[in-house]
């Protein structure tokens, strides 16, 4: 049966992406817009996919953990 993303690798990637989006959103709400903070948020969101791929290769993409 498929686990539909309920793995440590998927949860970690989603958490990293969510933190990135929250940081980027806060940066956009500031007046004036805080560009360095926005770029940090974008970088965190972009890092989520490589984090998932590395954790998946390390074996954290199964529900056995």
Structure-model confidence comparison of residues 52 and 3, the more confident one: 52
What average pLDDT is seen over the chain?
91
Residue 3 banded pLDDT, cuts 50, 70, 90: low
| 15 pLDDT higher than 70 | yes
Q: At what angle do helices 35-57 and 8-29 cross, to 10 degrees?
A: 180
Report the length, in residues, of the chain.
Answer: 65
At 25, which helix (H) or strand (E)? helix 8-29
Residues 40/10/61/55 CA torsion (nearest 10 deg): 10
Which stretches within 30-59 are classed as H helix?
A: 35-57
Mean pLDDT (whole number) for 8-17: 95
**Considering the entire predicted model, what is its pTM?**
0.86
Query: How many CA atoms lie less than 13 Å away from 42 in the CB half-sphere?
Result: 8
Q: Is the pLDDT of residue 27 over 80?
A: yes
């Amino acid at each position: 049966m498929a686990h539909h993303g309920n793995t440590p690798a998927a949860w970690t990637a989603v958490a990293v992406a969510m933190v990135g989006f929250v940081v980027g959103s806060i940066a956009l709400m500031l007046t004036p817009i805080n560009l360095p903070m926005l770029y940090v948020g974008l970088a965190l969101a972009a890092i989520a996919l490589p984090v998932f791929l590395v954790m998946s290769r390390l074996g954290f993409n199964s529900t056995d953990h």
